[in-house]
Structure 1
Amino acid sequence: MAAGLVISAPASGVGKTTLTLALARAWRHRGLNVQCFKSGPDYIDPAFHAAATGRASVNVDSWAMDRGAIAHLVSRGVDADVVLAEGSMGLFDGVAARGVSGTGATADIAEMLGWPVVLVIDPSGQAQTAAAIAAGLRDYRPGLKLAGVVLNRVASPRHEDLVRHALNEAGIAVFGALPRHAEISLPKRHLGLVQAEEQAEIGKLIDEAARFVAEHVDLDAVLRSAASWSPQPAVNGLNVTPPGQRIALARDAAFSFVYPHMLEAWRGAGAEISTFSPLADEAPDASADVCWLPGGYPELHAGKIAANAHFRSGLRAFAETRPVHGECGGYMVLGTALTDADGVRHEMTGLLGLETSFAKRRMHLGYRLAELAAPMPGHRPGARLRGHEFHYSTIVAQPDMPLAVVHDATGAVIAETGSRRGHATGTFFHLIAEDR
């Protein structure tokens, strides 16, 4: 039987990921088997979890997934000693309108699984007020259990004493306090953390975080606060159809934003996946029956993509007879051109008429519910797809037929409809699941 915990915070940027990685690695050093999950649609953090634990991590999302799908995904922790779910944003942050089983908030997952919450509190610029915040989070939603807090970035022993005293008076356990420590700071860029696979020293950084946290946090007390848990049988699993029997998947530093649960579901349904690297000027496998270009950072590599003639011609030849689909960054590369942040225009593959620009950045962020007006690989017309959109590109031209009618989480129709032309389709949202 595993011990389950949720790592959350009042807000983003407080240190949830660092604490999750450190706890996972520290317990692993003690010989425990640790399984991680990510609550919400962030597609970067699961790779960090895998680096810390040696086990694949997946996303669980109450807005896009039903309880059966979440139970199915979490059941992979059945053979673990400790199971950690890392939250997103603040504990109760989600969307205003309920989705499939919740609003996408971390609290949904904690309540659904019955796991206590460990809060990461950054008391910078405050003292006793930190206790008021923790107490407010504890009492905001009946049925949610607060295990305790870990203080992060405390300024001094006196600062720590003030905050600890206030938390103790509020009846909230303090598992430890972390002074500021730049050596365990994870590098960031415009879409979040720099990806784990791009950091050659990620193992050493996680080891240092584990050492630092073990020195300042009572690991035994945190573990004792966890809930004993064994997964309940899932009535049904993920409602995911592979886009083809043999899938050519773009995979490198420019194309890496693909949800692990999607790949697992494709393989579980019998599909074969062969990867290729557009940055290495590779073309999709000619024996594949569909090509999938996930999101990533094509804007950081636009010049190289534009210069890689073998990739571009190979993809065009593939699309003459078989479906090609792109998500977000992959969608941009299927377009006619991409203008980078410096204002330089780069020709893309031209399979779609989409033209995008990063010269004038504008953030697009949120859940998406799309009803397909035409088929896309793995999904029929009329299918209702749930996904998430996060990018800073601006549409300069979008002349092709729309792929879907797309709504945000409030039900409002949005302009980013996706595109279709010939065998090529693309969307700005990353697919998470199809409604049953």
Structure 2
Amino acid sequence: MNPPGLLVAAPRSSSGKTTVTLALMRALSRRGLAVGCAKCGPDYIDPAFHQAATGRPSVNLDSFAMPDPLLDAVAGLAVRGADLVVAEGSMGLFDGIVAGEGRTGANADIAARYGWPVLLVLDVSGAAQSAAAMALGCARFDPRIRLAGIVLNKVASARHRRLVEAGLARVGIPVLGALMRDASLVLPERHLGLVQARETADLAARLDRLADLAESGLDLDAILAHAGGDGPAAGAGPLPRPPGQRIAVASDAAFSFLYPHMAAGWRAAGAEIVPFSPLADAPPPQDCDACWLPGGYPELHAGTIAGARRFLEGLRTFARTRPVHGECGGYMVLGRSLEDAAGTTHAMAGLLPVATSYRSRKLHLGYRVATLAADCVLGPAGGRLVGHEFHYASELTGPPGAAEALARVTDAEGVPLGLAGHRRGQVTGSFFHLIAGR
């Protein structure tokens, strides 16, 4: 039997979902509960904070990118050995793509699929009784979901809280806690979201402070009583297959955006993941049979990477005989050069014919559905992959030609976006992060 769950969501982004989620996870973990963790949608930063708060790995649940068997298999990782599952939403509760019911990528799809009641975080700054109208709309918009109750965030005063609660009492929606307005609760951010957990100073102390606030400001017993749902069905499909049996994976402050379910799938298939740090000038171990360069922040460390001679030479040597794949930041490092925000151009590995720039920032964001142009480490020619792209860099060399492209891609709604990524020999790379397909 699966443990009960809750989905922490909000009507819009920047409402305080992550603050409330981490406070709840840490407080419940301190009570001795094994808290299963999940993040809805293609986010690779928040799961690391979940793991820091609970001591358990977190996973991504994506109703668009993941076929149902894979979605259930990944959800199974979250519920395994847990007393309770806490999932964090992304964007607004119902925000996703235009698609069939249950396939939009919205948080609500996950709540509906697993029966997890929604704990709705309301940022009430600038509103009082009117906040109840927003909550009522969320409660009634989708009959598939059930609202457990409300956590008020950014409450200005005791009087402000009374006014907001009066509006919610009128529509019969319970308030399960409140957090006062406090700028010190905000975690540091940069251009792709929160500063990574591994880089956040005094993270354990910050999490414990959030837990203290949860103990004093949230009705934890009532929240636990509202948890429910059936969780994933038994007999879920397989997790992603590994690109090799001993995989060198770049892992440091510049390379860290590898979806947890990918690594879990590789290990479940018997593969060994061997981390190495390009920032420490370490080459990929030569006793591995594949190398993976995840995304991250190479644009912030371009000078260090350009000067990492052992890493670059070792990567080139590795690529002569074995497959190497780079995602987003890893793709940039596999190229000829990377221009940083100051306009300085740094030589990279030169394994792919692409030059990238972070100087003139332009947001590239969205799902990518890719059809592979040729056999490669990601799968056979014609194979279908689903991934997600989120970066501010541009390709100075323009789009690839047909003879060198990794794949032909569309967006989530099937709009053609042309050719994307590069391949040369056994080296491949693209700006999208793989979620499903292999």
Task: Give yes or no for TM over 0.5.
Answer: yes
Q: Which amino acid aligns with 1:95?
A: I
Q: Which amino acid aligns with 2:265?
A: A
Match of 1:430 among 412, 433, 437: 433
Separation in structure 1 between the aligned mates of residue 180 and residue 352 of structure 2, nearest angstrom: 51
Would you say the 8 A contact 1:78–1:230 is kept in 2? no
Change (3 A) 1:416 1:389: farther
Where does residue 54 of structure 1 map in the other structure? 55
Instruction: Tell me the secondary structure at the aligned position of residue 227 of structure 1.
Output: coil
5+ residue gaps, structure 1:
none
Would you say the 8 A contact 2:17–2:121 is kept in 1? yes
Post-superposition Cα deviations, 1:378-418, rounded to whole Å, max 9, x if no partner, equal 41111100010000001101456111001111111214611
Q: Which runs of 4+ in 1 moved over 6 A?
A: none
Would you say the 8 A contact 2:5–2:116 is kept in 1? yes
Where does residue 88 of structure 2 map in the other structure? 86
Where does residue 312 of structure 1 map in the other structure? 312
- How big is the shift at 1:234? 2.7
- How big is the shift at 1:365? 0.3
Instruction: Tell me the secondary structure at the aligned position of residue 2 of structure 1.
Output: coil
What is the identity percentage for the equivalent residue pairs of Structure 1 and Structure 2? 56
Q: Give the structure-1-normalised TM-score.
A: 0.96
Separation in structure 2 between the aligned mates of residue 344 and residue 54 of structure 1, nearest angstrom: 40
Would you say the 8 A contact 1:12–1:89 is kept in 2? yes
Would you say the 8 A contact 1:63–1:98 is kept in 2? no
Separation in structure 1 between the aligned mates of residue 110 and residue 30 of structure 2, nearest angstrom: 27
5+ residue gaps, structure 2:
none
Where does residue 202 of structure 1 map in the other structure? 203
- How big is the shift at 1:138? 0.6
Where does residue 255 of structure 1 map in the other structure? 255
Where does residue 268 of structure 1 map in the other structure? 268
Q: Which amino acid aligns with 1:421?
A: R
Separation in structure 2 between the aligned mates of residue 42 and residue 139 of structure 1, nearest angstrom: 27
Instruction: Tell me the secondary structure at the aligned position of residue 111 of structure 1.
Output: helix
- How big is the shift at 1:201? 1.0
RMSD: 1.4
Where does residue 151 of structure 2 map in the other structure? 150
Where does residue 365 of structure 1 map in the other structure? 365
Post-superposition Cα deviations, 1:225-282, rounded to whole Å, max 9, x if no partner, equal 11154642034233x2211122111111100000010011011112121111110001
Would you say the 8 A contact 2:336–2:354 is kept in 1? yes
Where does residue 300 of structure 2 map in the other structure? 300
Change (3 A) 1:177 1:229: same
Instruction: Tell me the secondary structure at the aligned position of residue 25 of structure 2.
Output: helix
Where does residue 161 of structure 1 map in the other structure? 162
Instruction: Tell me the secondary structure at the aligned position of residue 396 of structure 2.
Output: strand
Separation in structure 2 between the aligned mates of residue 245 and residue 89 of structure 1, nearest angstrom: 37
Separation in structure 2 between the aligned mates of residue 355 and residue 274 of structure 1, nearest angstrom: 28
Question: Which is further off, 19-28 or 103-112?
Answer: 19-28
Separation in structure 1 between the aligned mates of residue 81 and residue 232 of structure 2, nearest angstrom: 10
Would you say the 8 A contact 2:278–2:311 is kept in 1? yes
Spell out the pairing of 1:94-173 with structure 2 (5 A cutoff): 94-98=96-100, 102-173=103-174
Instruction: Tell me the secondary structure at the aligned position of residue 163 of structure 1.
Output: helix
Instruction: Tell me the secondary structure at the aligned position of residue 356 of structure 1.
Output: strand
Q: Which amino acid aligns with 2:84?
A: V
Structure 1 residue 414 corresponds to structure 2 residue 388: no
Separation in structure 1 between the aligned mates of residue 415 and residue 273 of structure 2, nearest angstrom: 36
Would you say the 8 A contact 1:402–1:420 is kept in 2? yes
- How big is the shift at 1:156? 1.3
Where does residue 64 of structure 2 map in the other structure? 63
Change (3 A) 1:235 1:252: closer
Separation in structure 1 between the aligned mates of residue 355 and residue 217 of structure 2, nearest angstrom: 51
Instruction: Tell me the secondary structure at the aligned position of residue 303 of structure 1.
Output: helix
Would you say the 8 A contact 1:241–1:378 is kept in 2? no
Separation in structure 1 between the aligned mates of residue 76 and residue 273 of structure 2, nearest angstrom: 24
Instruction: Tell me the secondary structure at the aligned position of residue 131 of structure 1.
Output: helix
Separation in structure 2 between the aligned mates of residue 228 and residue 396 of structure 1, nearest angstrom: 49
Would you say the 8 A contact 1:363–1:390 is kept in 2? yes
Post-superposition Cα deviations, 1:108-167, rounded to whole Å, max 9, x if no partner, equal 000000111000000111112211011001100112100111000011111111110001
Instruction: Tell me the secondary structure at the aligned position of residue 420 of structure 2.
Output: coil
Q: Which amino acid aligns with 2:353?
A: G
Where does residue 346 of structure 2 map in the other structure? 346
Q: Give the structure-2-normalised TM-score.
A: 0.96
Aligned residues: 433
Question: Which is further off, 267-276 or 278-287?
Answer: 267-276
Would you say the 8 A contact 1:278–1:305 is kept in 2? yes
Q: Which amino acid aligns with 1:159?
A: H
Separation in structure 1 between the aligned mates of residue 295 and residue 38 of structure 2, nearest angstrom: 21
Question: Which is further off, 63-72 or 122-131?
Answer: 63-72
Where does residue 356 of structure 1 map in the other structure? 356
Q: Which amino acid aligns with 1:3?
A: P
